[in-house]
Amino acid sequence: MLRLLLAFILLSMVLRAVSRLTRGIAAGMQSPPVPPPPQAVALARDPVCGTYVVPAKALTVGQGAEMRFFCSEKCRRAWQVKPAR
């Protein structure tokens, strides 16, 4: 009787371990590691050199829809000298 009880306990432990393992695999399959979005903020393109810049940190020329963003003072100056629209 005792041996049967021990066998039952052992079996339940094994089953629990197996179910945990399969659940872990299922969870891993359901939610694969999702890479973070490449850019959280919308970037503006420097029209001179083509570099993408963060508008908040970029140098600007113009207002509103005509506003242009530049990666450096060099590009901004180049744009002001010859706006290649």
Nearer to Zn ion, 15 or 70 (CB): 70
Q: Is 58 in the site for Zn ion (CB under 5 A)?
A: no
Interacting residues of 60 by C-beta distance below 8 A, sequence separation 6+: 67, 68, 69, 70, 76
Q: Alpha carbon of 49 to those of 12, 22, 25: distances in Å? A: 67, 53, 48
One of 46, 68, 69, 76 touching Zn ion (CB under 5 A): 46
Number of residues that bind Zn ion (CB under 5 A): 6
One of 44, 58, 69, 71 touching Zn ion (CB under 5 A): 71
Burial of 58 (0-12, 13-18, 19+ CB in 10 A): buried
Nearer to Zn ion, 26 or 54 (CB): 54
User: What's the closest the beta carbon of residue 17 comes to Zn ion, in angstroms?
Assistant: 59
